[in-house]
Amino acid sequence: MKIYIAFGGEMIALLAAAALFVPATAMPQAAPASEQPDKWQVTADLYGYFPDITGKVNSPGGSGSTDIDIPFHDVLSHLKMAFMGAVAVHNDRWGMFADALYMDLNAQEKLTRDFQIGGGEVPVTANVTVGLRAWVWTLAGEYRVVADPGWTMDMYAGARSLYLNPTLDYKVIDPPLGIKGSSGTSGTSWDGIVGLKGRYAFGDDHQWFVPYYLDVGTGDTRLTWQGLAGIGYSYHWGDLVAAWRYLEWKGKSGQALQDLTLSGPMVGVMLHW
């Protein structure tokens, strides 16, 4: 994780961790086609997503840009708490789904930088603590265009909300100048999304299936799209799913985050009733 700081009252900036601000929402998968079209069907999904993160962010003050390359083990080492889950309901061909993703990250670093004082270089060391809390909510209505025991396809439209609360605390410890401070901000972005999702079952008993998902959106962002495909197995109580998920996000001109890609495996348990 790359952190760039400047002392003496200058703004302290977290750059590479901004990659985690992206709206990487979950993809609740379609339930099998119901044999009772007038009955409500509910699917609850608990999942874990383990991506590598690459991209580019603009530095504060127009001082250039920084490339991001954060492997999953670095993300995991700074993770304090996370929750990922979704729920979907259907009645006949109509339905809706909601998704929530929460992350609480915290990184502590001891950083040293040389300053020019009186014609010479003086090293200054500071303790820096960076925190990030992020909530991502997605809500969409959907219509089932294909309802077959071996194949389902839902088309949907909705909105995605992203709330961010990054914080930073620092204290100069060498030399002991008594310089310390903190900063924090928060904000919410909204994007409209459209897409399709479903599953293709195979085998004599239709227990094996391929889940798929694709969406595209824009709004406060210039473009965001994501896709998923994998393999699943159905039990009488629900499904186990393993998939590969890819997300690309492009920011508007002047935004801190310009390009971002998340790519990695996702595993989940889906319960139907």
Which tens digit of pLDDT belongs to each residue from 125-183?
A: 888 887 777 788 889 999 999 988 889 999 999 998 877 676 778 788 877 777 887 77
118 CB burial (10 A radius; 0-12, 13-18, 19+) = exposed
Residue 215, token pair as written in the block: 């969406």
Token pair for residue 178? 């008594």
- What is the pLDDT, as a whole number, of residue 25? 38
Q: What are phi and psi of 116, to 5 degrees?
A: -85, 115
Domain annotation covers residue 114: no
Q: Report the distance separating Cα 21 and Cα 257, nearest Å.
A: 9
d(CA 175, CA 83): 41
pLDDT at 97 over 60: yes
Q: Is residue 118 part of a domain?
A: no
Three-state secondary structure call for residue 185: coil
Rank 9-13, 19-23, 129-133 by mean pLDDT and report only the highest. Answer: 129-133
Supply the pLDDT for residue 64. Answer: 58
The answer to whether residue 182 is domain-embedded is yes
44-92 residue pLDDT tens = 998 888 877 777 766 555 555 666 676 777 767 777 888 888 999 989 8
Q: How far apart are CA 155 and CA 141, in angstroms?
A: 9
117 in a structural domain = no
Residue 149 in contact with residue 37, Cβ under 8 Å? no
Instruction: State the pLDDT at residue 163.
Output: 77
In a domain, 85, yes or no: yes
Length of the chain: 273
pLDDT of residue 16: 38
Question: Cα-atom radius of gyration of the chain, to the nearest Å?
Answer: 22
- pLDDT tens-digit series, residues 105-116: 777 777 777 766
Whether residue 37 is preceded by a cis peptide bond, meaning omega within 30 degrees of 0, is no
Q: Name the residue with higher pLDDT: 240 or 125.
A: 240
Q: Would you say the C-alpha torsion 85, 69, 218, 13 has a positive or negative sign? A: positive
* Listed range (29-43, 78-92, 228-242, 246-260) with the worst mean pLDDT: 29-43
Is 134 among the domain residues? Answer: yes
Q: What percent of the chain has pLDDT over 90?
A: 28
Contact 55, 19 (CB under 8 A): yes
Identify the pLDDT of residue 127: 83
Asked if 52 contacts 36 with a C-beta cutoff of 8 angstroms, the reply is no
Name the more confident of 166 and 206: 206
CATH number at residue 230: 2.40.128
Whole-number pLDDT of residue 1: 41
With CA atoms as reference, report the closest residue to 37 among 147, 173, 151, 159: 147
Maximum separation of any 2 CA atoms in the chain, in Å:
82
pTM of the model: 0.72
pLDDT at residue 14, as a whole number: 36
**Taking all residues of the chain, what is their mean pLDDT, rounded to a whole number?**
77
- Beta-carbon contacts of 86 under 8 Å, excluding residues fewer than 6 positions away, are 26, 27, 28, 44, 45, 47, 97, 98, 99, 100
Residue-range definition of the domain harbouring residue 256: 3-109+124-272
Determine the average pLDDT of the residues in 24-32. Answer: 50
Does the residue 119 lie in any domain? Answer: no
Distance CA 81, CA 65 (A): 29
Helices (H), ranges, 150-271: none
Region 182-198 average pLDDT: 83
- Residue 188 counted as domain residue: yes
pLDDT of 114: 72
The token duo for 122 is 């003086």
Q: What is the reported pLDDT for 7?
A: 33
The domain tally of the chain equals 1
